[in-house]
């Protein structure tokens, strides 16, 4: 059984251009007790700059989860501000 070449990987366009940076930021921002932990033995034998489909999928998943967390935090902040504004107007 042969593995697909990098050019033939379906859904490759789904991986953002800055996936390394976003995944690194997501991992740095959260504890390592959940999610993937980097290890020094994860070098690919295919050459520099190439990732397996599993690695691409893991990076994409981390990026999406980080974005969802950001959106939830922003929504919670908006809700808090709205509630605080309503309470302040009721006091006056």
DSSP state for residue 52 in the 8-state scheme: -
Higher-pLDDT residue of 49 and 91 is: 91
pLDDT in tens, 41-70: 555 555 566 778 999 999 999 999 999 999
Q: Among all chains, which residue has been given the structure tokens 């070449």?
A: 5
- In contact, 49 and 88? CB cutoff 8 Å: no
Alpha helices in 1-92 (DSSP H): 19-29, 53-91
35 confidence band (pLDDT: 50, 70, 90):
low
Distance, CA of 35 to CA of 18 (rounded, Å): 19
């Amino acid at each position: 059984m042969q593995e697909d070449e990098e050019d033939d990987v379906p859904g490759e366009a789904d991986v953002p251009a800055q996936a390394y940076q976003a995944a690194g930021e997501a991992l740095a921002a959260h504890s390592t007790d959940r999610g993937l932990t980097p290890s020094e033995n994860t070098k690919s034998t295919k050459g520099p700059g190439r990732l397996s489909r599993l690695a691409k999928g893991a990076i994409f998943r981390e990026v999406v989860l980080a974005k969802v967390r950001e959106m939830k935090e922003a929504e919670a902040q908006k809700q808090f501000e709205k509630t605080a504004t309503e309470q302040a107007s009721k006091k006056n």
